[in-house]
């Protein structure tokens, strides 16, 4: 089921991005790398299991680190979500 | 500027002064420097992650700054800049406190796809940020797509092609009405009315409601405003059409300085008369257009208005490029004539 979240994509005219080459390091620093590898996380939009391959964004949600996946619909929702708030 | 001119200037003023001039020039042209940097880095992006990151952030920032400054858009309409912060590690606590999403940029993705998705995220997150909840959703969605296209145009031909062929079709197929509004806004934009009238009027109208609950009347009227502007954009030059709209939120009139015979016969007086007449009838803003040679006429009228000390109205100039139905383009101006206080 789709969850409501308040985190923003753009803050103070700044967007945060992670490049593929830095992803593993970032996930380790956030202490979620092993969880992603073992399939513990699910997309906030469609519920699909998050993997290193399909991970599209990292979202702060209810004091936890969560994710969205790279399915077209979920990417679209992520880009448009601030408008739909 | 060719090498001979640079040599001549250097011998005349000395290298340090020329260097200062060059630095000032580069600062003033920051957006073009960013776009050049983006293009150069893109060339090397297959070999280096650093170049790949720099290509995306420079092109994104350069095209946003270039478009927003060229179109003279106020911050109420859209933020004027976007910086990219590349993250490679972060403490969980600060990530949760900052409450900001980190977007992944895939190495194997088409660079245009990354650029357009980031531009779309910028526009959807920032355009009319404080006011969009008061406006019609379809109008806003179509306006966002139109703004993404305008920014992407500054990023180069490949980006625009990707936008038109890959990004836009699925967005338009979501709803027939979005497609219809998008095409209308594109026509309106060719006539210089998308930013200069539509977005400014939406911003002003929604701004008057800020802090209150949304009003259904403004939602309906924002659609009406699109239809009104589209009728003007699509009219033939000899066709009479309604050039004013007066409802609860939008009280605007449009003057096209286009009739040679009026000018030859009576000078600018008929224009001044019709501006005063609109003002006395309660119109808040009069938009006066001058296309090509008519720019001078529009400038004369604006000068007259601004120099008339008894006049409570002021004309502000905005420049744009008018695109005719057959595709040819001309320089044009639109004056926004509204109350001084």
Give the pLDDT score at A83: 52
Measure the CA–CA gap between B117 and B106, rounded to whole angstroms.
12
Minimum mean pLDDT range among A67-81, B124-138, B302-316: A67-81
To the nearest whole angstrom, how far is the Cα of A71 from the nearest Cα of chain B? 13
Give the pLDDT score at B288: 95
By CB atoms closer than 10 A (0-12, 13-18, 19+), residue B87 is buried
pLDDT, tens digit (0-9, with 9 covering 90-100), for B97-109: 999 999 999 877 7
Across the range B204-233, mean pLDDT stands at 94
A10 in contact with B at a CB cutoff of 8 Å?
yes
Give the pLDDT score at B150: 94
pLDDT, tens digit (0-9, with 9 covering 90-100), for B306-323: 998 777 889 999 999 999
Whether B87 and A16 lie within 8 Å, measured CB to CB: yes
Angle at B188 between CA B186 and CA B190, to 5 degrees: 70
pLDDT at B240 over 70: no
| ipTM score of complex | 0.93
Give the pLDDT score at B171: 86
By percentage, how much of chain B surpasses pLDDT 90?
Answer: 52
B101 in contact with A at a CB cutoff of 8 Å?
yes
Across the range B67-93, mean pLDDT stands at 91
The overall longest dimension of chain B from CA atoms, in Å, is 74
Give the pLDDT score at A82: 56
Q: Tell me what the pLDDT averaged over chain B comes to.
A: 87
Contact B182, B188 (CB under 8 A): no
The torsion defined by the Cα of B211, B214, B219 and B220, in degrees rounded to 10, comes to -120
Strands B83-86 and A14-19: parallel
To the nearest whole angstrom, how far is the Cα of B245 from the nearest Cα of chain A? 28
Across the range B221-247, mean pLDDT stands at 88
> Quick one: pLDDT band at residue B3, thresholds 50, 70, 90?
low
Contacts of B315 (CB under 8 A, 6+ apart): B288, B301, B302, B305, B306, B335, B336, B337
Minimum mean pLDDT range among A19-28, B171-180, B286-295: B171-180
The DSSP secondary structure of B305-333, one letter per residue, reads: HHH-TT--EEEEEEEEEEE-TTS-EEEEE
Give the pLDDT score at B231: 94
Measure the CA–CA gap between B322 and B328, rounded to whole angstroms.
8
pLDDT at B329 over 90: yes
Measure the CA–CA gap between B204 and B74, rounded to whole angstroms.
11
Give the pLDDT score at B262: 65
B34 in contact with A at a CB cutoff of 8 Å?
no
Strands of the sheet with B329-339, listed across from one edge: B244-246, B251-256, B285-291, B329-339, B313-323
Measure the CA–CA gap between B164 and B158, rounded to whole angstroms.
10
Give the pLDDT score at B111: 83
Give the pLDDT score at B215: 94
Give the pLDDT score at B27: 63
B86 in contact with A at a CB cutoff of 8 Å?
yes
pLDDT at A84 over 70: no
pLDDT at A76 over 70: yes
Across the range B118-136, mean pLDDT stands at 90
Chain B interface mutation, best of A3, A4, A14, A18, highest count of B Cβ atoms under 10 Å: A18
Nearest-CA residue of chain B relative to A22?
A: B88
Helix (H) or strand (E) holding B255: strand B251-256
Give the pLDDT score at B12: 74
Measure the CA–CA gap between B101 and A26, rounded to whole angstroms.
13
To the nearest whole angstrom, how far is the Cα of A42 from the nearest Cα of chain B? 16
């Amino acid at each position: 089921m789709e969850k409501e979240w308040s985190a923003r994509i753009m803050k103070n005219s700044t967007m945060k991005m992670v490049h593929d080459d830095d992803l593993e390091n970032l996930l380790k620093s956030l202490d979620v790398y092993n969880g992603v590898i073992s399939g513990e996380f699910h997309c906030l939009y469609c519920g699909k299991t998050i993997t290193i391959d399909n991970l599209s964004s990292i979202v702060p949600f209810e004091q936890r680190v969560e994710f969205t996946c790279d399915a077209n619909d979920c990417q679209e929702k992520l880009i448009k979500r601030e408008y739909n708030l | 500027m060719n090498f001979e001119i640079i040599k001549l200037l250097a011998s005349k003023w000395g290298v340090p002064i020329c260097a200062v001039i060059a630095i000032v020039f580069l600062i003033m042209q920051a957006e073009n420097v960013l776009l050049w940097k983006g293009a150069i880095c893109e060339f090397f992006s297959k070999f280096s992650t650093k170049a790949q990151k720099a290509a995306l952030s420079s092109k994104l920032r350069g095209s946003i700054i270039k478009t927003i400054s060229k179109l003279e858009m106020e911050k109420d309409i859209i933020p004027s800049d976007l910086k990219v912060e590349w993250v490679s590690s972060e403490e969980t606590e600060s990530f949760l406190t900052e409450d900001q999403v980190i977007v992944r940029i895939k190495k194997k993705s088409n660079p245009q796809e990354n650029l357009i998705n980031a531009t779309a995220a910028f526009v959807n997150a920032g355009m009319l940020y404080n006011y969009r909840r008061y406006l019609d959703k379809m109008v806003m969605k179509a306006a966002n797509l139109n703004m993404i296209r305008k920014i992407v145009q500054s990023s180069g031909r490949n980006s625009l092609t990707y936008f038109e062929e890959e990004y836009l079709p699925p967005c338009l197929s979501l709803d027939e009405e979005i497609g219809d509004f998008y095409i209308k806004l594109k026509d309106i934009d060719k006539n210089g009315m998308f930013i200069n009238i539509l977005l400014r009027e939406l911003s002003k109208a929604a701004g008057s409601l800020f802090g209150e609950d949304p009003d259904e009347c403004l939602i309906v009227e924002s659609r009406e405003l699109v239809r009104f502007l589209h009728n003007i954009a699509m009219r033939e030059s000899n066709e009479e059409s309604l050039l004013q709209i007066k409802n609860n939120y939008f009280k605007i009139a449009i003057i096209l300085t286009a009739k040679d015979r009026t000018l030859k016969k009576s000078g600018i007086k008929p224009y001044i008369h019709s501006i005063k007449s609109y003002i006395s009838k309660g119109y808040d803003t009069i938009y006066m257009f001058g296309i090509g040679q008519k720019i001078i006429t529009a400038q004369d009228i604006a000068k007259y208005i601004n120099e008339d000390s008894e006049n409570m109205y002021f004309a502000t100039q905005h420049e744009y490029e008018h695109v005719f139905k057959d595709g040819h383009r001309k320089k044009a101006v639109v004056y926004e004539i509204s109350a001084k206080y």
